Amino acid sequence: MNYRMISYILGWILIFEGLFLSVPMLTAIVYGESVLSSYLIAMGICFLIGGLLVFKKPKKKQLFAREGCVIVALSWIVLSAFGALPFLMTREIPTFIDALFETVSGFTTTGASILSDVEKLSHASLMWRSFTHWVGGMGVLVFIMAFIPLSGAQNMHIMKAESPGPSVSKLVPRVKTTALILYSIYFALTLIEFIMLLFGGMTVFEALNTAFATAGTGGFGFYNSSMGSFSPYLQIVITVFMILFAINFNCYYLLLCGKLREAFNLELRTFLIIIASAITVITINIHGMFSSVGEALRHSAFTVASLISSTGFSTVDFNQWPELSRTLLVIIMFIGACAGSTGGGIKVSRIIILFKGMSKELQTMVQPRQIKKIKMDSRLIDHETVRSVNVYMVAYLMIFAISLVLISFDNHDLITSFTAVTATINNIGPGLDLVGPTSNFGFFTMQSKIVLIFDMLAGRLELFPMLLLFTPATWKK
């Protein structure tokens, strides 16, 4: 294990975090808020420790797959721990675990909050919460890797560990160029949303926060009613963009290249079909609760988009909806977004591979001598990928079950505990009942919060980097 190299990269992470902190700092300056000093101090700490760590370049630069995973997991922990400092120093969130929960929830684009009244927070802190979504959405490390002078093969291990989805595909030969293309798409989409929100009458502050939170599929609101108080136009814009950010970014690149057919691949088609059918069923199910079908459609579309993209915004309290709708919502929370997007969940492509694997197994039971391979878009899915998806599913269920048991020590009802784990491990935000869209996670005990923090990180990093961190073999010489 190349400890020196790990600490070197962690140093860079801190320096970049210092730079990220300038966004809330500027907000504090604009609004003339007293929290400015806390943000300045936090920034100073990041620069100081980061600077010390990167001061001397390590001689041995070699990174292997296990270092890649460890770096990714540690980076996200370090990023969250230092990102929690401002909340502590401004005393807006007085305990460390609560502040950590809030920042982890931000960086992992979960959007689950422990605050009962977000409107009390300063503008700077609200901005910091939303900005962590934007930073965490696309992945911090790949972004930073584009700036730190490292050779490409080393980047590959890190990109593999950080990117969501069963397999990483590059758009162009170089990791750096690939990262650059993806970030440009991300940036452009965010900008378009920001402008469209401004047209809908949002203030610059509201539009920025919303755009950041949608882009990262995060879901931190800045009003207690989340998005309920905004006009139908704004809600529709947000609905569309939540879906757009949950689509594999490679599709946009293919679209830009004019490869329309390849862009609308099986995963995207499946994703859109799932959304359409969920919206239809839920609209029919809830139309009696609203004055018109149009309104029911708007709310069901918003909610479905919000939960399948793992954003977690809400316009109405969907906790009050009939059981059929609630069940469907929980199921789409598990399905999640497309691979290679900023969203969470199990990912549509994994679900497709699992289903195809199952149907293959059934066919071989009927015809034992038949040879069958799993294909997607007439491309062979190699055995390694299928195996890793299966293992992922097992690990997912295991973590889910253990977390659920640990949470149950708090003695809340099963729906609350179950959806609390669902909402964190899939990086959604709100669940049902006590953790529904109008409530928050503040009432959990400290140990339960730690479990949920782990779930959020594990969910964002696709389980294995976090699991590796707790595997003794990783640390053996």
Partner 1 sequence: MNIIIVGCGKVGQALVEQLNDEGNDITVIDKVAEKVNDVSSRCDVMGVIGNGATHSVQRDAGIDTANLLIAVTGSDELNLLCCLIAKKAGNCHTIARVRNPEYYSESQFLKDELGLAMVINPEFAAASEIARVLRFPSAIKIDVFGRGRVELLKFRLPENSPLAGCAVKEIVTKLHCDVLVCTVERGDEVHIANGEFVFEEKDVISIVAATRKAGEFFRKIKYKMNSVKDVMVVGGGEIGHYLCEQLIRSGMSVKLIEKDPARCETLCATLDDGVSVINGDASDQNILVESGLEQTGAFVALTNLDEENILLSLFAKSVCDCKCVTKINRIGFDNVISKLDLDTIINPKSITSDTIVRYVRAMNSSRGSNMETLYNVIKGKVEAAEFIIKEDSPVVDVPLMELDLKPDVLVAAILRDKKVMIPRGHDSLQIGDAVIIVSRQIGLRNITDIRK
Return residues touching partner 1 (CB under 8 A). 65, 151-153, 155-157, 160, 170, 172-177, 380, 382, 384
**Residue 428: which of 80, 93, 113, 76 has the closest Cα?**
113
Closer residue to partner 1, CB minimum distance, 175 or 296: 175
Closer residue to partner 1, CB minimum distance, 74 or 168: 168
C-beta of 178: minimal distance to partner 1 in Å? Answer: 9
Closer residue to partner 1, CB minimum distance, 167 or 280: 167
Which amino acid appears at position 359 of this protein?
A: S
In terms of Cβ atoms closer than 10 Å to its own Cβ (0-12, 13-18, 19+), residue 458 is buried
**Residue 375: which of 365, 386, 363, 366 has the closest Cα?**
386
C-beta of 136: minimal distance to partner 1 in Å? Answer: 24
C-beta of 380: minimal distance to partner 1 in Å? Answer: 8
Closer residue to partner 1, CB minimum distance, 120 or 387: 387
Closer residue to partner 1, CB minimum distance, 182 or 238: 182
Task: Supply 219's token pair.
Answer: 């879901």
Alpha helices in 287-322 (DSSP H): 293-308
Contact 113, 441 (CB under 8 A): yes
**Residue 305: which of 261, 248, 366, 240 has the closest Cα?**
240
C-beta of 441: minimal distance to partner 1 in Å? Answer: 39
Closer residue to partner 1, CB minimum distance, 53 or 159: 159
C-beta of 40: minimal distance to partner 1 in Å? Answer: 38
Query: How many Cβ atoms sit within 10 Å of the Cβ of residue 360?
Result: 15
C-beta of 233: minimal distance to partner 1 in Å? Answer: 42
Q: 3-state SS of 73-108?
A: HHHHHHHHHHHCHHHHHCCCCCCHHHHHHHHHHHHC
Instruction: Report the run of H or E that residue 411 belongs to, with start and end.
Output: none
Closer residue to partner 1, CB minimum distance, 151 or 327: 151
Closer residue to partner 1, CB minimum distance, 32 or 258: 258
Instruction: Report the run of H or E that residue 408 belongs to, with start and end.
Output: helix 383-408
Closer residue to partner 1, CB minimum distance, 151 or 447: 151
Tell how far CA 92 is from the center of its chain.
24
DSSP letter, residue 382 = P
Closer residue to partner 1, CB minimum distance, 157 or 299: 157
C-beta of 7: minimal distance to partner 1 in Å? Answer: 23
Task: Supply 100's token pair.
Answer: 């950590």
DSSP letter, residue 120 = G
C-beta of 61: minimal distance to partner 1 in Å? Answer: 14
Contact 380, 299 (CB under 8 A): no
C-beta of 141: minimal distance to partner 1 in Å? Answer: 15
C-beta of 157: minimal distance to partner 1 in Å? Answer: 7
Contact 92, 197 (CB under 8 A): no
Q: How far apart are CA 113 and CA 220, in angstroms?
A: 7
In terms of Cβ atoms closer than 10 Å to its own Cβ (0-12, 13-18, 19+), residue 91 is exposed
Contact 336, 308 (CB under 8 A): yes
